[in-house]
Amino acid sequence: MNPSLPHHNPPLLSLVVPCYNEREVLSEFMRQVIPVLQALPAMNYEVVFVNDGSRDDTLDRLVDIACAHDRVRVVDLSRNFGKEAAMTAGIDEALGDVVVPFDADLQDPPEVIPRLVAKWREGFDVVIARRVDRSSDTLLKRKSASLFYKFHNIISDIDLPENAGDFRLMSRDVVDALKRMTESRRFMKGLFAWVGFNTAVVEYTRQARVAGKTKFSGWRLWNFALEGVTSFSTLPLRIWTYFGFFTAFVALSYAVFVLIRTLIFGNPVPGYASIVTILLFLGGVQLVGIGVVGEYIGRIYIESKQRPVYLIQARYGVSEKVKRGGR
């Protein structure tokens, strides 16, 4: 291992947990997760909670937890930046030799974590937790997720492992590679796949949410999918070039057809309905094309500002033990 990288003996595992209005699940989270982390053989742990601008008393509960557990730290962001930014903040703050992003809702069972660690000890830098049973999710969510993964992998040079979320283990080398990614519009699943490294897969069954409601509505999931597509593929832009050539070819062919028909049968009065239909169709196509271009221009505009991905308002529960083991 590079001597400039953090190294602990025994190694340190950092569990990164983004939280947004998760007050109802925190007690159960601690009850289930901490025993699993304590039982890890020959390994220390820390839990890095990231409060992503929660509107309830999530922060107060997290601070209480940090005061009661010397291996728990809380990073409080200045506002709600979104899960991708909160996860980035947690990964940046993590001190571990390995880092595991983990959702607070416990849909991903903590008992999978030792299996991830076992694969890491075999020499893998990335260990992906893949869901083999998503019956706890709605049928619409399962189908839409499947379609998204297939569509993304067709149009993008980077393949996303299907049914794999953010839950995974990453070595310090992978974490440092991720920290070199400077874009402000972040699609973490794509970034995880882009960095590569030696990867293994552990399969598990996804559980029902312990309490509370999901923060991802259908509209937010749709925008999230658009973010994923535009982050790692320019094919949507290319498609409109091809479609433009195709439309021009069809128009030219139709012009030749009209010319020949006029020479043979004369010049009948064209139908009003067909003209309006064609104009509306082409106008709609142009607007959709402009919209696709606008999505990419919007990304360029936002990235050109070079704003930070997140802002930290406060940190809580940084123990002396973690300070001495950190960078």
DSSP symbol at 9:
S
Three-class secondary structure of residue 267 per DSSP:
coil
| Residue 59: partners with Cβ closer than 8 Å, 6 or more residues away | 51, 74, 76
- Indicate the domain borders of the chain: 12-142+161-215+309-325, 235-305
Report the pLDDT value the prediction gives residue 53, as an integer from 0 to 100. 85
Pairing of strands 12-19, 98-101: parallel
Torsion-angle region of residue 169: left (phi > 0), alpha (psi -120 to 50) or beta?
beta
For the chain, the farthest-separated pair of C-alpha atoms sits apart, in whole angstroms, at: 93
- The strand pairing partners of 51, in sequence order, are 19, 76
DSSP symbol at 207:
P
Per residue of the chain (327 residues), what is the pLDDT tens digit? 443 456 667 899 999 999 888 888 888 888 898 999 988 888 899 999 999 888 888 888 898 888 888 889 999 998 888 888 888 899 988 888 999 998 888 888 889 899 999 888 888 888 988 887 666 556 656 666 667 666 656 666 666 667 777 888 988 988 988 888 877 777 777 788 878 788 888 888 877 655 555 555 555 555 555 665 566 666 666 676 677 777 766 776 766 776 676 677 666 655 555 665 677 677 777 777 777 777 777 777 777 777 788 888 888 886 434 443 433
Helix (H) or strand (E) holding 294, with range, is helix 272-305
Q: Among 3.40.50.970, 3.90.380.10, 3.90.550.10, 3.50.50.60, what is the CATH number of 12-142+161-215+309-325?
A: 3.90.550.10
Pairing of strands 164-171, 126-133: antiparallel
**Helices vs. strands in the chain: H and E counts, helices first:** 11, 8
Report the pLDDT value the prediction gives residue 280, as an integer from 0 to 100. 65
